[in-house]
Amino acid sequence: MYNVGLAGLTYWSPNVNIFRDPRWGRGQETPGEDPLLASKYASGYVKGLQETDGGDSNRLKVAACCKHYTAYDVDNWKGVERYSFNAVVTQQDMDDTYQPPFKSCVVDGNVASVMCSYNQVNGKPTCADPDLLSGVIRDCDSVDVLYKNQHYTKTPAEAAAISILAGLDLNCGSFLGQHTEEAVKSGLVNEAAIDKAISNNFLTLMRLGFFDGNPKNQIYGGLGPTDVCTSANQELAADAARQGIVLLKNTGCLPLSPKSIKTLAVIGPNANVTKTMIGNYEGTPCKYTTPLQGLAGTVSTTYLPGCSNVACAVADVAGATKLAATADVSVLVIGADQSIEAESRDRVDLHLPGQQQELVIQVAKAAKGPVLLVIMSGGGFDITFAKNDPKIAGILWVGYPGEAGGIAIADIIFGRYNPSGKLPMTWYPQSYVEKVPMTIMNMRPDKASGYPGRTYRFYTGETVYAFGDGLSYTKFSHTLVKAPSLVSLGLEENHVCRSSECQSLDAIGPHCENAVSGGGSAFEVHIKVRNGGDREGIHTVFLFTTPPAIHGSPRKHLVGFEKIRLGKREEAVVRFKVEICKDLSVVDEIGKRKIGLGKHLLHVGDLKHSLSIRI
């Protein structure tokens, strides 16, 4: 914390890059693969960091920094490094997929700074591109790579000058401090540009209160470590972990009844880990509860790591199968850690590391009772073998669940908490990455080349698990209460589409502002949600739309989502406001938003509703 000298007041967070490829080592830092989800997360995260309790929008609690701008999600894959990688991105994908979260950071979140990325985009370093930076960027982590790695400039002074002239205000390090003076003396950049950058930096310092006198007398001046590790905050850590756990498979074994279990075998390289649970860019934990500790707090357990680490070069199959053969239930806690996926470390395949798969298979064969698989990781794995194995009764993905991960895992397994997490990204089979180089940035499929596309919005192949998957211990159903079947867009008399057939219209203009009867640009969708089970549950309602097949439109895309808590046999109505030209539009080949004419399909779960948009 700043008050005790452990941190500053500028935070290089959040990471709002799209989790485009499952091998990316930093996918664990992001909110997932969907642009709308990432955008909502971005603005919410920024507001949470920056907004003060006093409500003054000119003040900052801390200064957030949305990163990494833009089209960055290759770190180090088969010798391709982020510093020299040129991301070739179409204008359509740029505006449709990569840019929305950063727009939300700036427009909706009013973020204090944005960090440009390490890579080039279409042949130009992001930290030297005025078309990307001007009016947006205030921060950079990689000015030096313009000179050192990308050889975009001949001298360090040129790198400093070109980045400042492009709109940069500072870099995360000492490079500009070392070389800007030489850039000015050489006439590469004038003092007015330096003054502008410094003014922007000092404005942030002023908003943070650096010139308001003794910081101890300011609103947050008395905070210290004891304010972090309160009982309430430790419970918040546990609840965040509970809400984030995703139940992917349940044959009916879960939740377990503690009374019926005399012995629980806990096996796996992540079963008793601590630091692994807090991922990367971590804070200082108050108190760890490992998965083993969490489970042992409820029933009698036996424990074997099975592998010395997650790399699992050698698995103790004999010891693990012996343990499982005598236990009423076996829990395998496997997956990854920062040695497998991390900054500057992308994966090359989607297999479980080393001998982990063999360990799981043999334990499942030998186990006396049902086997539960707990996967701790940032990215997904091809676990088709486990999904299809009848001896594996349940699968949970817990991400990197934080300091209280063991509490949350036990609460889910023993039914003290009803799981409600949903996958924020697609889990692909291994065959996908064997066909698709990580360096291809295109989102849309290409039938001619056999390229299958990326993310649930465009990918056309088989999945292991899909975006939004996640089971509950109860059953939710959806019923449509309200939604229009027809929307007529009124056009001006001289509009070209009055005299010719058009597949789409610009998603801006008078026809958007008066798109519904009685005037207005939006309509409402009401969905009745019913909990048909005998226990309380939390349910996330996803509203998707499938637009007409124009402009390489997505197979479907997310319009909105709402989380609702329902008691047993309880029901409630969830309301979505749908902005017609914003939420139902797609991006065309040149980056313009278009509203498709014809049939749009709205869907929530298995519920589908056709909506026709016409002129």
Question: Phi/psi at 112 (nearest 5 deg)?
Answer: -75, -30
- Which helix (DSSP H) or strand (DSSP E) does residue 216 occupy? none
* DSSP code, position 257: P
Cβ atoms of 347 and 23 within 8 Å: the answer is: yes
Q: Which of 229, 269, 296, 242 is nearest to 405 (CA)?
A: 242
Cβ atoms of 218 and 209 within 8 Å: the answer is: yes
Q: Which of 19, 15, 49 is nearest to 32 (CA)?
A: 19
Q: Verify cis geometry, omega within 30 degrees of 0, for the bond prior to 68.
A: yes
Cβ atoms of 432 and 86 within 8 Å: the answer is: no
Q: CA-CA distances (angstroms) from residue 586 to 506, 558, 564? A: 10, 12, 28
Cβ atoms of 27 and 73 within 8 Å: the answer is: yes
Residue 76, Cα to own-chain centre: how many angstroms? 20
So which residues are the catalytic ones?
139
Sign, CA dihedral 251-255-260-263, equals: positive
Beta strand pairing call for 522-531 and 571-579: antiparallel
* DSSP code, position 520: B
For the chain, the straight-line distance linking the first and the last C-alpha, in angstroms and rounded, comes to: 57
Token pair 């990316």 is found at: 24
**Rounded distance between C-alpha atoms, residue 507 and residue 615, angstroms:** 13
Cβ atoms of 327 and 369 within 8 Å: the answer is: yes
Cβ atoms of 137 and 130 within 8 Å: the answer is: no
Cβ atoms of 138 and 36 within 8 Å: the answer is: no
Cβ atoms of 143 and 115 within 8 Å: the answer is: no
Cβ atoms of 37 and 392 within 8 Å: the answer is: no
Q: What burial class does residue 107 get, using C-beta atoms within 10 Å of its C-beta: 0-12 exposed, 13-18 middle, 19+ buried?
A: exposed
DSSP, collapsed to helix, strand or coil, labels residue 95 as helix
Q: Which of 232, 203, 169, 224 is nearest to 7 (CA)?
A: 224
